[in-house]
Structure 1
Amino acid sequence: MKPIQYALLMIDFQNDFCLKGGYGDQCAGLDWVNPVIPRAKALLEGARAYGVPVIHTREGYASDLSDCPPLRIERSEKAGAKYGSEGPMGRLMIRGEYGNQIIEELAPIEGELQYDKNSYGAFATTTIDEDLKALGVTDLVFAGVTADICVHTTLREATDRGYNCLYVRDAISTLNPYIRKAAEEMIRQEGGIWGEVVDSEAIIEIWAKLKASE
């Protein structure tokens, strides 16, 4: 049996989703995301301490929005935070703006893979699949925002490509608490059709034991 090789996937922990004035704040405030950032940080520090590869993603679009589907722009306006509109951290969801950068607490360090995507799923518009395969990754540990959109889309893409997905429920959130719970429950259906729901502490403990056994 192929040995397990973990990687930590940090999905879209961007200023636009996590800080005041960004897309997430304009849509629903920040109470939905603030509690998961410390657990995501602990997970990130654990991965770094135990030699687990770390991958970061950012959703963002060209300054002229030429790579953003018109329906997505229309729907973001209905949500109350139109893509490309001016905000306190620059234009919302535009690559290169401060709002598009990953929050300071979870910022990538040298050697960690980073992907900019103009899609909800990370596999659709990046080379992440090829890069994970080159690393020998079998099991993807998920942290990120938002649970029902970018996290679930990427998780489903990964499942279709044969990765075992571990959904870290205390390091993942979305704007609506009922949808957040539903996103967890969907993982468990049909014998765990989309993977496993886990806590950050349990994953860090697994990594620690693997490191100790080397």
Structure 2
Amino acid sequence: MSSTVHDRNRWTLTPDRADLRRPARPPRSIELSALPQDLSLDLERAALLIVDLQNDFCHPDGWLASIGVDISGTRAAVETVAAALPAVRAAQIPVIWVNWGNRPDRVNLPPNVLHVYDPAGDGNGIGSPASSLSTAVLEAGSWGAAVVDDLTIVPEDIRIDKYRMSGFVDTPLDSALRNLRVDTLLFAGVNADQCVLATLMDAANIGYDVVMLTDAVATTSPSYCLDATVYNVRQCFGFTATAADLVKTL
């Protein structure tokens, strides 16, 4: 798919002419059950964004588990995404992994971001050792920042490191999506009420169509946080559907 991805936004060049017309991409329409309304989608203009399904958040040897957080709820999202990926890739929908992957020196992280993960200032947050496997919490290139062991990235997938709750702040995500000629974003990952929601809100605010796949998101927060998130996505930002219905439709 990599050549197809790059071909989505290109000029045709000869020594004496630049043809600025982009390649024609006939619509590939599907009908998807969703709330608050059913959707008609063009797969040629869609992408799947998978947020923070990484070892530090979702693996029993990762950072959250090491500090006593119950990560069992994340398993459903991991399993749902694993089941959906073959159909998504077969449909040539770009798969974009948006994960925390911080600089080792943390020079681009303001104090409020560091505080979220180390509220007492004990030095146990981003960049600190977390377990025998996670050498540096959420640090780019570390085991903890890698996509959770249960999931596989293929060469055609796209990886974006993020440094905030939102995957759009200080990252090339928006540029990548615009070069892919994408309008509609399908959201999966964790935590639904935190990084998934922050990324979804920013996407909606800059004009993307957003759809949260409710069986492909999860959170370690109390259940009422997820309830409020789903309500607000439908009420304020876009739509909710399920990965199961998407796969069935594909």
Normalised to the residue count of structure 1, the TM-score between the two structures is 0.87
Q: What per-residue deviation string (whole Å, max 9, x for no partner) do you get for residues 119-165 of structure 1?
A: 22111122222221222212111001111221111111111222111
Instruction: Give 2:229's aligned amino acid.
Output: A
| CA distance, structure 2, for counterparts of residue 133 and residue 205 of structure 1 | 28
Trace 1:166-181 onto structure 2 (pairs within 5 A).
166-176=211-221, 177-181=223-227
The yes-or-no answer on 1:75 pairing with 2:116 is: yes
Distance in 1 separating the partners of 2:206 and 2:115: 31
In the alignment, the residues of structure 2 paired with residue 75 and residue 200 of structure 1 have an alpha-carbon distance, to the nearest angstrom, of 30
Aligned partners of 2:210 and 2:237 also within 8 Å? yes
CA–CA distance in 2 between the matches of 1:54 and 1:85? 30
**Per the alignment, in what secondary structure is the counterpart of residue 156 of structure 2?**
coil
Relative to total residues, which structure has the larger helix share, 1 or 2?
Answer: 1
Please identify the structure whose Cα radius of gyration is greater.
2
Which residue of 40, 45, 55 corresponds with 2:86? Answer: 45
Distance 2:72 2:149 in 1: 18
Q: Secondary structure of the residue that 1:115 maps to in structure 2? A: strand
Which residue type is aligned with residue 188 of structure 1? R
SS in 2 for 1:28: coil
**Structure 1 counterpart of 2:79, one-letter code:** P
Q: Which residue of 1 aligns with 2:145?
A: 100
Is residue 2:102 matched to residue 1:64? no
Alpha carbons 2:77, 2:188 under 8 Å: kept: no
Note if 1:204 corresponds to 2:247: yes
SS at match of 1:71: helix
The 5 Å alignment of 1:1-214 reads 3=27, 4=42, 5-25=45-65, 26-78=67-119, 82-88=125-131, 89-176=134-221, 177-189=223-235, 193-206=236-249, 208=250
Q: Deviations over 1:11-37 (max 9, x none)?
A: 111100111232332252212211221
Task: Give me the identity figure in percent.
Answer: 29
- The RMSD of aligned alpha carbons is 1.9
CA drift at 1:71:
2.4
Give the Cα separation in 1 of the matches to 2:96 and 2:244: 19
Q: CA deviation at 1:6?
A: 1.4
What 5-or-longer segments of structure 2 have no aligned partner?
1-25, 28-41
- The match for 1:211 is none
Letter in 1 for 2:202: E
Q: Are the structure 2 counterparts of residues 71 and 27 from structure 1 closer, same or farther at C-alpha, using a change threshold of 3 Å?
A: farther
Whether the aligned pair in 2 keeps the contact of 1:73 and 1:83 (CA below 8 Å) is yes
Distance 1:69 1:27, change over 3 A: farther
Letter in 2 for 1:71: N
Structure 1: distance between partners of 2:155 and 2:53? 17
- Structure 1 range deviating more: 21-30 or 133-142: 21-30
Q: What amino acid is aligned across from residue 178 of structure 1 in structure 2?
A: Y
Q: Whole-Å Cα distance in 1 between the matches of residues 149 and 85 of structure 2?
A: 13
Q: Which runs of 5+ in 1 are unaligned?
A: 209-214
